[in-house]
C-alpha cells in the first residue's frame, strides 16, 4: 500500500527548535519578559507572527504593528545566524533510516511545516530529494492547530487524510493532525504530547516493524 508520510521540520527532522527558542529568548529578555522552556512549548509549531503575539501576551506588552515587524525581522535574523553552518550533522538521530525505509518501500513523503525557512534547511542538510511535496509557512494562511498545512500536503501526495501519517514534536501540530483525521505520531516527551495516537522519544525508537504496520494498515 501507499501511504502519505508527513513530517514536521523543526524539532522532528532537525534540532532547530533550540535555535527558535534562543532567538525568541533574546527578544523576550530585551523586553524583560520571562520566557522559559515551558512557555516555549506553546510556540512550537506556531507561526512566527503568532509566536511573537504569544510572547507579548506573556509580558502584557502592547505595541504598534511597526514595532512588531521590527522584532519579527530581528528574531529571524538571529535565528538565521544559527543556521549559517548547518549541514547533515544536524539531522536528528534515526530520521535518515526512517526516510530511507519509506523510500525503499515506495511510500509518499511530504513536509508539513509552519516555517518560512524550510526549503533552505532541507537543502543545507541534503535531504530535499526525499520529499514528494513540500508545504511550509509560505503556503498556508492558518497556523497549526489548524489542519490546513497537513491537508494541503495530503492532497499534493494524492492520499486521503485517513491514509496520512504525521510526525510532530509540537502540541499544536499533534492537534492539527488529529483534527485532520490523520494518524498522529508524537516525537518527544509523551507527557506533553499525550494527545498523539503514538509516541516515541525520538526516531531511533521507531523500528521497521512499526513502519511496515503503518503501511499495511
Ligand atoms: C515551526 C517552529 C516554530 C516557528 C515556526 C515558524 O513550526 O516549530 O517554532 O516559529 O516554524 O518558523 P519560521 O522559520 O518561519 O520563523
Ligand atoms: Mg516542530
pLDDT tens for each residue of 57-116: 999 999 999 999 999 999 999 999 999 999 999 999 999 999 999 999 999 999 999 999
Which residue has the CA at smallest separation from atom 14 of ligand 1? 115
Question: What is the set of active-site residues?
Answer: 8, 10
Atom of ligand 1 nearest to the CA of 44: 8
Contact 137 CB / ligand 1 (< 6 Å)? yes
Q: What is the largest CA-CA distance in the chain?
A: 53
Asked whether the predicted pLDDT for residue 37 surpasses 90, the reply is yes
Asked whether the predicted pLDDT for residue 135 surpasses 90, the reply is yes
Contact 40 CB / ligand 1 (< 6 Å)? no
Q: What is the pTM of this model?
A: 0.95
Average pLDDT (33-58) is 94
| CA 64–ligand 2 middle distance (angstroms) | 29
| Whether the Cβ atoms of residue 185 and residue 170 lie closer than 8 Å to each other | no
| CA 45–ligand 1 middle distance (angstroms) | 6
As for the ipTM of the complex, it is 0.98
Question: Could you write out the three-class secondary structure of 162-192?
Answer: HHEEEEECCHHHHHHHHHCCCEEEEECCCCC
Which residue has the CA at smallest separation from atom 16 of ligand 1? 48
Report the distance separating Cα 83 and Cα 38, nearest Å. Answer: 24
The tally of CA atoms less than 13 A away on the side-chain side of residue 17 is 25
pLDDT for 10? 95
Report the distance separating Cα 89 and Cα 78, nearest Å. Answer: 21
Indicate the average pLDDT of the chain: 97
pLDDT for 203? 98
Three-state secondary structure call for residue 206: coil
pLDDT for 1? 87
Asked whether the predicted pLDDT for residue 120 surpasses 90, the reply is yes
Confidence of residue 192 (pLDDT cuts 50, 70, 90): very high
Amino acid at each position: 500500500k501507499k501511504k502519505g508520510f508527513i513530517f514536521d521540520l523543526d524539532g522532528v527532522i532537525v534540532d532547530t527548535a533550540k535555535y527558535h527558542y534562543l532567538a525568541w529568548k533574546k527578544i523576550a529578555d530585551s523586553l524583560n519578559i520571562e520566557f522559559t522552556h515551558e512557555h516555549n512549548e506553546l510556540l512550537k509549531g506556531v507561526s512566527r507572527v503568532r509566536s511573537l503575539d504569544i510572547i507579548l501576551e506573556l509580558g502584557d506588552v502592547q505595541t504598534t504593528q511597526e514595532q512588531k515587524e521590527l522584532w519579527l525581522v530581528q528574531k529571524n535574523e538571529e535565528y538565521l545566524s544559527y543556521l549559517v553552518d548547518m549541514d547533515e550533522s544536524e539531522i536528528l538521530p534515526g530520521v535518515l533510516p526512517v526516510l530511507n525505509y519509506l523510500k525503499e518501500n515506495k511510500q509518499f513523503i511530504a513536509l508539513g511545516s509552519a516555517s518560512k525557512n524550510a526549503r533552505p534547511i532541507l537543502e543545507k542538510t541534503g535531504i530535499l530529494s526525499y520529499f514528494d511535496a513540500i508545504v511550509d509557512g509560505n503556503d498556508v494562511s492558518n497556523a497549526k492547530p489548524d489542519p490546513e498545512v497537513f491537508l494541503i500536503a495530503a492532497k499534493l501526495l494524492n492520499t486521503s487524510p485517513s491514509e496520512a501519517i504525521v510526525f510532530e514534536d509540537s502540541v499544536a501540530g499533534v492537534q492539527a493532525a488529529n483534527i485532520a483525521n490523520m494518524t498522529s505520531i508524537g516525537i518527544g516527551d509523551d507527557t506533553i504530547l499525550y494527545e498523539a495516537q503514538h509516541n516515541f522519544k525520538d526516531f531511533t525508537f521507531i523500528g521497521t516493524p512499526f513502519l511496515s504496520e503503518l503501511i499495511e494498515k
